[in-house]
Amino acid sequence: MLDNILASKLYRAGSVAYVSRSGGMSNELNNIISRTTDGVYEGVAIGGDRYPGSTFMDHVLRYQDTEGVKMIVVLGEVQFGHAGACANQASETAVAKNKALKESGVYVPRSFDELGDVIQSVYEDLVAKGEIVPAEEVPPPTVPMDYSWARASIHCTAILSACPIWIIYSELGLIRKPASFMTSICDERGQELIYAGMPITDVFKEDIGIGGVLGLLWFQRRVPKYASHFIEMCLMVTADHGPAVSGAHNTIVCARAGKDLISSLTSGLLTIGDRFGGALDAAARMFSKAFDSGLIPMEFVNKMKKEGKLIMGIGHRVKS
């Protein structure tokens, strides 16, 4: 990672700003821009959400008003299931977007393979016109070596002025020692994860199961076989119905308040509605109405968003 930062010259500002979809594509752009221009001024990845916190245009307009930015690069989603790669109509396809951008005066490569060539061509043209003054090359800052790698390389045996070399390197700031986390139940300092004194390899070798692992993490000890089996039985019974849903939560609160079983159960049942327990019916009504109205998914989502209504459904939210 640090080698890549140095190779991409991210330790000093260049003249090119970019905005992309994902961190992976940002990494590619850092590399491409550093090889074809004087480097990156700023880069942002907006993420693959349907409604991201910021858009490509937000950052393009911001870059436009930034004095140090002389050239702007935009890299959208790649149509192979990449983050944000969703086209619900012809105007949202990559071909349509590229055509519209080209007609408006944007430099658009024919393929990703030509992106670097186009960036270099535009950059050199701007330099020739005097609009860009290439940034001065400065020596990169000293990058600390990884602690374990440094110790393995030096073997801690060479002595200089009665002081091991690795200690001298540490004092000069040339060795970076990674942070180690340790609690009363989990130790991550060594080469192997340890749960309450039990190496993770032994956890698998002895096949103590989920109940045994929870015993180590919760009770900091090896629990008997019957206790491990009981924990696993509880997980199987409650796997689909945790204590955080409305009905279970209200029932627990009433029971802890000293109410009888029937009253506690009833308080939980009273919470059943469109948001809990009845979401399937509400979802069916919503989707059926949208289908009967001839709405495409994007129009349906935008309509519900505009009305400030939640789209009901069963399961976990994905990219919402």
Query: Does 17 share its domain with 113?
Result: yes
Integer CA distances (angstroms), 117 to 26, 33, 122, 124, 142, in order? 17, 10, 9, 11, 32
Query: Does 263 share its domain with 196?
Result: no
Range of the domain at 261: 240-272
Query: Does 41 share its domain with 98?
Result: yes
Global pTM reads: 0.48
* Mean pLDDT rounded to a whole number for the chain: 81
Please indicate, yes or no, if residue 134 is contained in any of the structural domains.
no
The span from the CA of 30 to the CA of 42, in Å, is 10
**Where does the pLDDT of residue 3 fall: very low under 50, low under 70, confident under 90, or very high at 90 and above?**
confident
**Where does the pLDDT of residue 246 fall: very low under 50, low under 70, confident under 90, or very high at 90 and above?**
confident
**Residue 179 pLDDT:** 66
Query: Does 59 share its domain with 167?
Result: no
The span from the CA of 213 to the CA of 220, in Å, is 10
Running DSSP on this structure, what letter comes out for residue 175? E
User: Are the C-beta atoms of residues 101 and 108 closer than 8 Å to each other?
Assistant: yes
Integer CA distances (angstroms), 299 to 95, 291, 309, 317, in order? 21, 11, 14, 19
User: Are the C-beta atoms of residues 76 and 56 closer than 8 Å to each other?
Assistant: yes
pLDDT in tens, 122-147: 999 999 999 999 988 888 877 766 66
Query: Does 232 share its domain with 149?
Result: no
Domains of the chain: total: 5
Query: Does 16 share its domain with 88?
Result: yes
Query: Does 200 share its domain with 303?
Result: no
Active site (catalytic) residues: 82
Query: Does 210 share its domain with 305?
Result: no
Highest mean pLDDT among 31-40, 83-92, 142-151, 178-187: 31-40
Q: What percentage of the chain has pLDDT greater than the value 70?
A: 79
The span from the CA of 285 to the CA of 291, in Å, is 10
**Residue 172 pLDDT:** 46
User: For the chain, give me the number of helices (H) and strands (E)?
Assistant: 14, 10
User: Are the C-beta atoms of residues 69 and 42 closer than 8 Å to each other?
Assistant: yes
Query: Does 124 share its domain with 149?
Result: no
Judged by DSSP in three states, 159 sits in strand
**Where does the pLDDT of residue 84 fall: very low under 50, low under 70, confident under 90, or very high at 90 and above?**
low
> What are residue 226's phi and psi, to 5 degrees?
-65, -35
The span from the CA of 14 to the CA of 32, in Å, is 13
User: Are the C-beta atoms of residues 302 and 92 closer than 8 Å to each other?
Assistant: no
pLDDT in tens, 264-288: 999 988 888 777 777 778 888 899 9
